[in-house]
Structure 1
Amino acid sequence: MLWVQLAVVLGAIFLGARLGSIGVGFAGGMGVLVLTLGLGMEPGAIPVDVILIIMSVIGAVAAMQVAGGLDYLVELAEKILRSKPKYITFLAPTVTYVMTLLAGTGHTAYSTLPVIAEVAKENGIRPSRPLSIAVIASQIAITASPVSAAVVVFSGFLEPYGIGYLNLLAICIPTSFAAVMVTAVICNFLGVDLDKDSIYQERLKAGQITLRENKARRERKKGAGLSVAIFALSILAVVLYATAISGNVGLIENPVLPRDSAIMVFMMIAAGLITIFCKIDSANILNAQTFKSGMSACVCVLGVAWLGNTFVGAHIDSIQALAGDVLNSYPWLLAVTLFFASMLLYSQAATTRALMPAALALVDPVTAIASFAAVSALFVLPTYPTLLAAVEMDETGSTRIGKLVFNHPFFLPGTICIALCVAFAFVLAPMIV
């Protein structure tokens, strides 16, 4: 029955990959139905905490977008990218990394991808180089964001081991950013130069390539800067409160409001303040692109994490028995496990929620923290929204998906980046924990 159940899980994930977007979650729900009513398994835990955190953060981000805050950030990002176009392979991932770090969602990268593609093309740089590492940076930054569901949930798992929220961030932020920058160096040598790319040359001769150097700028909304300031202060409040209630700091003992709930409250307050002081219509928040993407992510997490929890929960004892000796001898294999799991579960938070409790029962916390970045392997299958957006926005054709599915420009940079991040974290984590 184990192989039949595994076939159902993989089948549901494959169907979700074919459906794409929110269909991933729907397919996960179908898999849960087959496993429970069809095969008699007990339903796993629904990742309610993860979904609620994503919802509250996305609500604040969407309010900031409606107020013009995201456009303001993109305007700043464009200035940075155009100021040193020759260094776009380094500047592009820096921009997407920082935006994801602050917002707790990689969907903020959508707005910067067209700028990255345009600046690269204007300067004769192969767009796949900055676009590939920019997308990877937006994914791996989730494991370093103070307000991402993955970080919040994982820090909760680590608390019984005496490892605080700030300890986790102190390891994840420098190691992930360093890995992104080293990978950016490697990306500069991937693929032939743009002037030697046959597909680009064909499109150029056919008149399909356009340069838009003097694009009209949108007028900045009055509340744009204020919305960014409110959102930034709410993130600071989250970090300060989480530090104050940490067992290592102990400024607030027996807090009435736990960390997860505090993040939801602060994010909802931020959304409310932006709505009031920036004078936006709250109904417009429902139509914001970030809100739609975020709610789609919630459904995806609900479906695939519930599916994963149902399967893993039913076999947790067997998994621990089989994996225990192997991980004791080769602890780095946890990173490999998380890599392949996130590739299928399609979410950093869902992978963390499904596998990290079992992982912490098998390995020491340092190994778990060092392997944490491996939950970001969402790039392996070329179906993730930001990855597809990068392909669509590169009219030169340099960012393209090959016929073999896995031969796309995101696979190698993503794998290298995660490997470097895990290696750096294995060095830094023992110094901090």
Structure 2
Amino acid sequence: MITIELLVVLAAIFLGARLGGIGIGFAGGLGVLVLTLGLGMSPGTIPIEVILIIMSVIAAIAAMQVAGGLQYLVNIAERVLRSNPKQVTFLAPIVTYIMTLFAGTGHTAFSTLPVIAEVAKEQGIRPSRPLSIAVVASQIAITASPISAAVVLMSGMLEDKGVGYISLLLICIPATFLACMVGAFVAQFMGKELKDDPIYQERLDHGLVSQRDKQGEALPASAKRSVLIFLVAIVAVVFYATAISDAVGLIESPSLPRNEAIMVFMLTAATAIALFCKIDTGEVLNAATFKSGMSACICVLGVAWLGDTFVSGHLDEIKALSGGLLEDHPWMLALILFFASMLLYSQAATTAALMPSAFMLGVSPEAAIASFAAVSALFVLPTYPTLLAAVEMDDTGSTRIGKWVFNHPFFVPGVATITSSVILGFVFAGIIL
């Protein structure tokens, strides 16, 4: 039966990948239906808190977007990129990393990708180089963002192991950021120089390479205000989580646990933005970030539920098969997370589906934190939205997907970044924990 049940899980994931986007969540629910009513398994645990945190954070981000806050951040990013355009391959991942770290979602990269491509073209730099590592940085920064669902979920698991929220951030932020710089170094040697690329020359001859209009729309006066409100909310989250932690203990027996505090602070931020920036709350529902965030909720619901249903039903067999292997070779957890995330398309869903099992199998907190960045291998299959957006926005043709699926410009810098992050994660975990 275990073989049949595993085939159901794999079939659901394959179907979801074929459907694309929110379809992975739909198919996850179908898989749970087959496993429970069809094959008699008990349903697994639904990651309700993670879903609620995603909803709360996205509500605040979408309100900030309606107020013009995201465009204000993009304008700042453009000034940074143009301040030293020849170093765009290193500046681009810094920009997308910080924006994701700040917002808790990699979808903020959508707004900066056209700027990155344009700056690269102006300098005669192959756009695929900064675009590839910028996309990877926007994904891996999820595992370092104080308000991302993946970090909150991971932190909750680590609390039972005696590792606090701040310790997790102190390891993940420097490890992932430095790893992005390693990926940028690798990316700058990928592909031919732009002037030597025959596809670029052909597109140039046919007038298919355009110049972006640098005259942006005027921002509303509320743009800066909305960013400030959101930033204050993030600082409040980090401060409160530190204050109630066992290590600091400024607030003993808090009436508001950390996860609930994140939801409260984010919804309060959304309320403040609506009041003080005078936005039309009806427009929040139409914001691109709101739609992508709600899609993420469905994906986490379906995939994480499917994974937990299968794993919890066969935990003893899984322990017998792989428990000793992970204890002897803890770095193998990173490989498992890497291959799982390339199919699940979500850092939070991969974390929810596999990390509880890893801890049950005896993986140490140090190994789990070091391997955490490997849940960001969303760039492997060229189907993730930000990756596809980068391909579409590069009209030079340098950012293209090869006929063998995996031979695209995101693969090598991405693998280099995740590998470096895992290695650095073990180093920082050994120092901090």
Q: Please, what TM-score do these two structures have when normalized by structure 1?
A: 0.98
The one-letter code matched in structure 2 to 1:238 is: V
1:357 aligns to what SS in structure 2? helix
Which residue of the partner structure matches residue 134 of structure 2? 134
Which residue of the partner structure matches residue 193 of structure 1? 193
The one-letter code matched in structure 1 to 2:43 is: P
Deviation at 1:3, TM superposition (A): 2.1
Cα distance in 2 for partners of 1:73, 1:323 equals: 45
Which residue of the partner structure matches residue 296 of structure 2? 297
Which residue of the partner structure matches residue 241 of structure 1? 240
Which residue of the partner structure matches residue 369 of structure 1? 369
| Alpha-carbon contact 1:53-1:149 (below 8 Å) kept | yes
Deviation at 1:215, TM superposition (A): 2.5
Q: Deviations over 1:161-200 (max 9, x none)?
A: 2211110000000010000011101100011111111211
Q: Which moved more, 1:326-335 or 1:97-106?
A: 326-335
| Alpha-carbon contact 1:44-1:309 (below 8 Å) kept | yes
Q: Which moved more, 1:198-207 or 1:61-70?
A: 198-207
Deviation at 1:391, TM superposition (A): 0.9
Which residue of the partner structure matches residue 92 of structure 2? 92
Alignment of 1:4-403 (within 5 A): 4-212=4-212, 214-361=213-360, 362-403=362-403
Q: Deviations over 1:126-174 (max 9, x none)?
A: 1110011000000100000000111111111111222111100000000
Deviation at 1:71, TM superposition (A): 0.5
| Alpha-carbon contact 2:24-2:344 (below 8 Å) kept | no
| Alpha-carbon contact 2:303-2:353 (below 8 Å) kept | no
| Alpha-carbon contact 2:118-2:211 (below 8 Å) kept | yes
| Alpha-carbon contact 2:186-2:416 (below 8 Å) kept | no
The RMSD of aligned alpha carbons is 1.1
Cα distance in 2 for partners of 1:225, 1:135 equals: 25
The one-letter code matched in structure 2 to 1:356 is: M
Q: Deviations over 1:58-95 (max 9, x none)?
A: 00000000000001000000111111111000111000
Q: Which moved more, 1:164-173 or 1:245-254?
A: 245-254
Q: Which moved more, 1:230-239 or 1:16-25?
A: 16-25
Instruction: Report runs of 4+ in structure 1 exceeding 4 Å deviation.
Output: none
Deviation at 1:393, TM superposition (A): 0.8
Cα distance in 2 for partners of 1:174, 1:72 equals: 26
2:409 aligns to what SS in structure 1? coil
Deviation at 1:292, TM superposition (A): 0.7
| Alpha-carbon contact 1:125-1:194 (below 8 Å) kept | yes
Deviation at 1:313, TM superposition (A): 1.5
Q: Which moved more, 1:105-114 or 1:305-314?
A: 305-314
Cα distance in 2 for partners of 1:337, 1:4 equals: 21
Cα distance in 2 for partners of 1:400, 1:316 equals: 42
| Alpha-carbon contact 1:237-1:266 (below 8 Å) kept | yes
Cα distance in 2 for partners of 1:147, 1:28 equals: 25
1:42 aligns to what SS in structure 2? coil
Q: May I ask how many residue pairs the two structures share in their alignment?
A: 432
1:402 aligns to what SS in structure 2? coil
The one-letter code matched in structure 2 to 1:404 is: W
Query: Quick one: percent identity of the two aligned structures?
Result: 69
1:180 aligns to what SS in structure 2? helix
Cα distance in 2 for partners of 1:300, 1:358 equals: 20
Q: Which moved more, 1:319-328 or 1:68-77?
A: 319-328
The one-letter code matched in structure 2 to 1:399 is: T
| Alpha-carbon contact 1:305-1:350 (below 8 Å) kept | yes
The one-letter code matched in structure 2 to 1:266 is: F
Deviation at 1:397, TM superposition (A): 1.2
Cα distance in 1 for partners of 2:276, 2:191 equals: 48
1:112 aligns to what SS in structure 2? helix
| Alpha-carbon contact 1:35-1:41 (below 8 Å) kept | yes
Deviation at 1:125, TM superposition (A): 0.8
Q: Deviations over 1:254-283 (max 9, x none)?
A: 211111100000000000000000010111
Deviation at 1:334, TM superposition (A): 0.9
The one-letter code matched in structure 1 to 2:288 is: Q
| Alpha-carbon contact 1:162-1:248 (below 8 Å) kept | no
Unaligned runs of 5+ residues in structure 1 are none
Cα distance in 2 for partners of 1:100, 1:211 equals: 27
| Alpha-carbon contact 1:127-1:399 (below 8 Å) kept | yes
Q: Deviations over 1:298-343 (max 9, x none)?
A: 1111111111111112112211221121112211111111111112
